[in-house]
Structure 1
Amino acid sequence: MEAIYSDYYPIFIYVDKYRFSKNWVYPSAPVPYSLIRYVVSGTAVFSLDDTSYEVGPGDVFYIPQGKLLSCAAREEIVFISIRFIGSIQLEGADMLSMLWNVPIQHNFGQVPEVREFFERIYASALTRSTFKMLEIRGYLNLILAHMACVSRENFNRDTTLEEDRRETEAHFDLQSIRHRAEKTARTNKDPRITIIVDTIVTHPEKNFTSKELCELAGFSESTLRRLFKEQTGKTVYDFIKDIKMTNAARKLLVTNEPISSIAYALGYETPSYFAKCFKEVFGLSPQEYRRTSHDV
């Protein structure tokens, strides 16, 4: 499990800057991806499930995938909203909270670089640069790292010097060193799986067979199934489907391509089967996703 967690990373879908009047209301609805927002100006109430949060300038607000979201502006509000999904998803689990205790809300008004990260992601998305996705991924990681550091700093402030001393000593005792060495030996990553993952990610239009992937990496199908699940937390089939769906979600938001064209371009023989797979991942049909996503 530790190896799976260490491989988590956010997969960017879409970013936009929104300006809503004080009468803006978004009715409660489940969010089929994760969101993270930076409030540039104005105030509003963002509600997740049964909990409401007052948000204002400088606030970063994290919305985990699958939560019921509703919003109501108190005055004109401007915010940048980034959509993403996790590379590893466990049913019913908020991976960012589970791994790093990322908070739902924190004010970064005194940390100007955080707003700059959001602005740079938005600016990069509008360019035609061939390396813009590298920039976007980098800044998204930095944003989430800043959110994770909030929890770490709060923990450190609550930890006494004596507790800190005991934890430090325990970290370096002989038994702990042996345990970490054994765990590292068990969780070493196989570079052949990395090759397979990179190949799948860079060719979302292809429908790779197990035989093709085994030939690429040079091992048996049983070894492929075992190692791939250990290192990614998913079966090969589910990983390929998620990569295809992430690409589909981005196309639905940033292009006007017909849904059937997107389906065929991603290797699906029929748009109906593509729609079925899309709904399994995002909880919405492609039509519903395209129609409603611009509202959140």
Structure 2
Amino acid sequence: MPAIDNIRFTFLYIGLYSMGSTWVYPKSMIPYNMFRYIVKGKAELCIDDEKVVVEENQIVYIPSGSIMSCQAITDSFEFYSIRFAASVLYESEDMLKKYYGIHRITNNQGEDIYFKEIYKWVKSDHIARKFFVRGYLDLLIGSLSLRGEHIEKEVGELGSEDYDLEKLKSRERKVSRQMDSRVQIVVDYIILNPTEKYTPEKMAKLASLSKQRFSSLFKDNTGKTPMEYVREIRLTTAARKLLLSDKNINDIAYDVGYEDTNYFIRKFKAAFGFTPNQYRKVAKEG
């Protein structure tokens, strides 16, 4: 697992929904991380067989891969819903709970402003909007993390006699490790240029390393092989385009570097559990 400071969160979509008492969200797998801020009313959510009631002025966190259903239990139910993804998909890892300590439900203490600002900037045509959207998402995650319960602390008090010298050394290496600058250059380049044709040899050249050394160093720092990382960046970029534009699937596939649309659809479904069209439809339903 790479150092958690190197994990980036990518905004996908925000919606403001107003539902009546008969609204039901059918049981579905959620293919992205989600925050919901409840503006008005109450609803019962079932998330991975855990039933919770959410109400006005609360924020609920639904991690990617959850099985969720929802139904309104008041005459009106209004909420913001933010969808976002990690820059790389870490299988079976609830990143925000495990590493940032974010609770399932948090009482709003001013975080509603981040939902409102993201919603406002998404609708703006200003060239700077992406910076504000990204910034407010980071502030929202940071604010919720400040009040979270950090289950897997990387830094803090040591347990006691459970730590011998070797464990202490191992822990220090884990805490202090930062992404190697040569890998960071390649990671940043891939994020900025997801549509280029990549090979391990090309990426190794960007890092001024041999292919073997680069592949080993890249996996040590990101937890992924170089080509796995490229694929997941492309698919995350495609997911964002699906939710923020009305482009057809063929165009989006081409935009993110896939010349074969059917191959793109298969890879997308393998990563998110939905075809691109299904993924877009789920977002519109709230």
Q: Name the TM-score, length of structure 1 as normaliser.
A: 0.86
SS of the aligned residue for 2:91 comes to coil
Q: Which has the higher helix share?
A: 1
Partners of 2:82 and 2:231 in 1: CA distance: 22
Shift in CA distance, 218/141, structure 1 to aligned 2, threshold 3 Å? same
Partners of 2:150 and 2:196 in 1: CA distance: 44
Alignment of 1:216-235 (within 5 A): 216-235=206-225
Deviation at 1:273, TM superposition (A): 0.5
Partners of 1:21 and 1:203 in 2: CA distance: 43
2:226 is matched by which residue type in structure 1?
Answer: V
- From 247, 251, 258, give the equivalent of 1:261: 251
2:70 is matched by which residue type in structure 1?
Answer: C
Identical-pair percentage: 32
Partners of 1:24 and 1:72 in 2: CA distance: 6
Partners of 2:271 and 2:67 in 1: CA distance: 17
Which residue number corresponds to residue 139 of structure 1? 136
Alignment of 1:30-49 (within 5 A): 30-49=29-48
Larger Rg: 1
Contact 2:12 2:244 in 1 (8 A): no
Which residue number corresponds to residue 8 of structure 2? 9
SS of the aligned residue for 1:100 comes to coil
Whether 1:86 and 2:86 are equivalent positions in the alignment is yes
Deviation at 1:144, TM superposition (A): 1.7
Contact 1:16 1:122 in 2 (8 A): yes
Whether 1:129 and 2:126 are equivalent positions in the alignment is yes
1:89 is matched by which residue type in structure 2?
Answer: L
Contact 1:4 1:233 in 2 (8 A): no
Gaps of 5+ in 2: none
Partners of 2:3 and 2:127 in 1: CA distance: 30
Partners of 1:87 and 1:19 in 2: CA distance: 30
The root-mean-square deviation of aligned C-alpha atoms, in Å, is: 2.7
Shift in CA distance, 168/250, structure 1 to aligned 2, threshold 3 Å? closer
Q: Name the TM-score, length of structure 2 as normaliser.
A: 0.88
Contact 1:37 1:62 in 2 (8 A): yes
Segments of 4+ moved more than 3 angstroms: 167-170, 178-182
Deviation at 1:207, TM superposition (A): 2.0
